Structures are given as C-alpha cells and as structure tokens.
Amino acid sequence: MNFYPLKFKPIYKELIWGGYKLRNILGKDFPAEKKIGESWELADLPNDKTVITNGEFAGKTLSELLLKYSEQITGQKNYQPPFGLLIKFIDAADILSVQVHPDNQAVKKLKMGHPKTECWYIISAEPNSCIYKGLKAGITKEQFAQSIKGGTCAELLNKVPVKPGQCHFLPAGTVHAIGTGILIAEIQTPSDTTFRVFDWNRLQDGKPRQIHIEQALESINFNQKAEDLPVTTSGRLADNEFFKIDKITAQAGTCEKITKGTMKVIIIISGSGQIISKDSDSVDFAKGQTILLPAVFEGEILFASNTEYLSVTQ
C-alpha cells in the first residue's frame, strides 16, 4: 500500500455574513450568486466529513482511513477518529457575532458541546479591518452579563486592527468576533460548538439568530490575560497542546524534502507546485488548497512559483 498526499473536497457553508472572496481570491468552485462564509477544507465531524478526491482513496473520508491505517496516516498507534484538526477558510464580508467556544471544564459543567481552541491566519484584510479578541482588563462576569442585556458587550472587548500575515491565537474560553472585510485561514480543534452572546441586532429570514447567553457566560475565561492571546507573523506561529503551526515561504524553482515520521497538513496561502515521490503519482497544488501528508510519506515539494504555506502538525 502506497500512501500519498491526500486532497479533499471542501464543504461550503452559506452564511448570513459570507461573501465572494473564497471564490474570487482562493479560486473556490461555487455558484457566483452564493455568499459563502466558510470553506471546510479538512473536516471530520459527525455531520461534516470531507471526502478524499485523489488517488486510490478517492471517495473515502479520513475517518474511514484512520480506522484501517491510523499509524501510517498519523504516525501514532491506535489513533481513533475523529481527526484532531478542523481546517477552514473564512470570508467575513460582514461582521460575525460576538461569541465564545467552551473549554473542557465548561463542556463538563454544561454537559454539552465540545471544546474548541483556534488560530486565525489573516490572508487578506480591507483597510481599517479589525477583530474583537478577549475582554478588556478587569471586566467581571457580572459587568459583561449586564452589557449583554444593554447591547453594549462589544465595547468591553479588545478591538484589534489586523493585517495580512498575522496569526492570532484564541484558546477556548476567549470571547471574540471577526470584523468585516477579512479573509482567514482557521486552524482549530474538531468542534463546531459556538455560543453567541450578541449578533449586532441582525435578522436572518426576518428573525434574530439564536443567542446562548447562559452557556456563554459559563464558557468565557474572565481571568484571561493579554499574554494568553499572542500575535505572530513568522516562523512558529502557534505551539500548544492541540497543534503546531509553522509559516513557510519558498522561492520559485526551489524544492523542499519531505521526510517520513510526522504527519503534516499544509495550507497553501499563495503559489503553486507539485509534491512528488518515487512511490506515487505527483500531486499538484495551488493557492487555497489543503493537503494532508501521511506520516509514512516521503518525497519533495517542487515550487513552480513563489509560495507561502502553513504547515500544521499535532
């Protein structure tokens, strides 16, 4: 059995705040009239599993492969589904809700959902774009609860200007929102548990979207400090118990060796090229694609143009 770089069919999410950058900038294939907010590039959730599109395993999900070939894929014995990463591209044509994802402690207390830690890599940002990340110093649970009732909770969040090339770490328990005009690569743990606290008085189909105030207040880390939310721009972008992210840049005409032993997920931010091996067919890659390199795969990456990509390991 030859294991090779795996490509996946994205799952597109049409969302109230979505736009057209995923198609216009990253070359995603969906109808021009669709406002797509998220492209799930690599997913292994109960109701959302991306399907392999190339080679011998085409048509299968990653879960199916892990049941038979966990060590070859991950480098770990008895690695059981679900896969430990969820990779997305996000197009925030409008501002997202103020929200939080729970940590393990909150999940146990609430007896619902799954913990979620994430990183946002800023691919593009319109002038004056910003995100909301964490509470201002000294804000208490009681103060924030009162601000939710008054519709002023965003005023208690840190408003952070963003620019392309930044990586923002958001551990579980961080209250946050993505501002307008930002295209993001999101690396996260495999969870879709989101508790909204404020949605900017927005209506969907004439009705407000569901709000989860009680669950959110139990999930927010009110003791979080600024140093818990680092911003990085080069080299090792993130290093935590769930994933590690490295930013790699390569010049056209160069190559990079891939040694076996460690599974990698690579997210192509810009550029193009080929991944080749003596044991399998070459795999082309281009901007906006996400590829999994099994732990037993070895070969090299040939860069046809100047390329920037994120390398994610566990």
Active site residues: 196
Residues 6+ positions from 191 with CB-CB distance below 8 Å = 45, 86, 101, 113, 114, 115, 116
Please tell me the distance from the alpha carbon of residue 230 to that of residue 84, in angstroms, as a whole number: 22
Q: Which of 298, 283, 311, 260 is nearest to 58 (CA)?
A: 283
Q: Which helix (H) or strand (E) holds 219?
A: helix 213-219
List of residues 6+ apart from 123 with CB closer than 8 A: 25, 26, 89, 164, 183, 184, 185, 269
**Residue 138: left if φ>0, alpha if ψ -120 to 50, beta else—which one?**
left
CB 251 within 8 A of CB 303: yes
Instruction: For residues 37 and 284, give the distance between their C-alpha atoms in angstroms, rounded to a whole number.
Output: 26
Q: Tokens 């989860």, residue?
A: 212
| Alpha-carbon span 298 to 183, nearest angstrom | 32
For residue 288, the surrounding DSSP H or E stretch is: none
What is the maximal distance between C-alpha atoms in the chain?
A: 63
Closest CA to 184 of 141, 137, 129, 236: 129
